[in-house]
Amino acid sequence: MKILVVGAGATGGYFGALLARAGEDVTFLVRPARAAALRERGLRVVGRDGEWALEPRLVTADAPGGPYDLVLLSVKSTGLDRAAADMAPAVGPDTAIVPLLNGLAHLDALNALFGPSAVLGGVAKVVTTLDATGDIRRLAPLAHLALGEQNGTVSARVERIRSVLEGAGIDAPVPEDVLTAMWHKWVFITTFGAVTSLMRGTVGEVYDAPGGPALGPAVLDEAAAVAAAAGHPVPEEERAATLAVVSASGSPMVPSLYRDLTAGHPTEVEHLFGDLTARARALGVATPLLDLATLRVHQRRVTARAAAGV
């Protein structure tokens, strides 16, 4: 299978590295600066299971190659439009696109560009980050990539992709309804993101503060209510798993949204929170805490600094 991984960050880079290490035909589509760094240092995975590196096959937007059998699209929502344009020449009539973004708005954009038959649903779960050197740091042994057709059928191409992923050591279930699985991940990541970002602290710092234990359940109730109103109720076991993450005394955990926020970088506030609260309003669901998390103060500051060249 000929695979293109769009982005070589903490998520796409990690999945792509596992696939390449397993002997799959993997190419990474990256920006010139990232390409230069990877050519100099290699694609390195460090952390819990030791350290390993490979010399990745790299392309940039001016010559992406293709067509490919599979495209794993792993970029932040703020870079989605540019990434989609960059990879478009590499998408053929039989290419399957698996986006690894949180939320759902990206499906509408990709469906409009490539057609819904080309785009699968995808849910990625990893605990990785890029460190200061550009290496992928593995913080936990999780490598999970659920996928499926948007219409709920179990197709031959999905089974083929699952086989390739599992051959690389990636847990690749095919849920009964991948859109429901995406909704449930969205509930988790918005709860996690709102708790830490609103309070500007780690899970443990928030939970251990006076009144802190009440915040996680309150935010989760709002997000889960939106999912239920949209026809995707969150099962009790998944609610419990989310609460276990956001209600842990002393936990140092924070999501990537929080890291971007505290570093002064652009965030995915529109894709994660803006879209969810807009759907909540359309469905008649009140989300006062999630509305607070959607305030664009930080984003306006970032935009103003960029416009001023700061």
Mean pLDDT for the chain overall? 94
pLDDT at position 274, please? Answer: 94
Q: What percent of the chain clears pLDDT 90, i.e. is strictly above it?
A: 83
Q: Domain spans of the chain?
A: 2-176, 181-307
What is Dmax (Cα atoms) for the chain? 56
pLDDT of 201 above 80: yes
CATH topology of domain 181-307: N-(1-d-carboxylethyl)-l-norvaline Dehydrogenase; domain 2 (1.10.1040)
pLDDT at position 266, please? Answer: 86
Q: Which CATH superfamily is domain 2-176 in?
A: NAD(P)-binding Rossmann-like Domain (3.40.50.720)
SS3 letters across 227-262: HHHCCCCCCHHHHHHHHHHHCCCCCCCCCHHHHHHH
> Shortest CA distance to 215 belongs to which of 236, 194, 201?
194
pLDDT at position 310, please? Answer: 62
pLDDT at position 303, please? Answer: 78
The contacts of residue 121 (CB under 8 Å, 6+ apart) are 107, 147, 148, 149, 150, 178, 179, 181, 182
Compute the average pLDDT of residues 298-305.
78
pLDDT tens, position by position, 151-164? 999 899 999 999 99
Please tell me which residue, 141 or 169, carries the higher pLDDT value: 169
pLDDT of 207 above 90: yes
pLDDT at position 137, please? Answer: 92
The contacts of residue 42 (CB under 8 Å, 6+ apart) are 53, 54, 55, 56
User: What kind and span of H or E run contains 203?
Assistant: helix 203-207
Read off the pTM. 0.92
pLDDT tens, position by position, 5-35? 999 999 999 999 999 999 999 999 999 999 9
pLDDT of 193 above 80: yes
Compute the average pLDDT of residues 176-198.
97
Q: 153 in helix, strand or coil? A: coil
Banded model confidence at residue 249, pLDDT cuts 50, 70, 90: very high
pLDDT tens, position by position, 258-292? 988 998 888 899 999 999 999 999 999 999 999 99
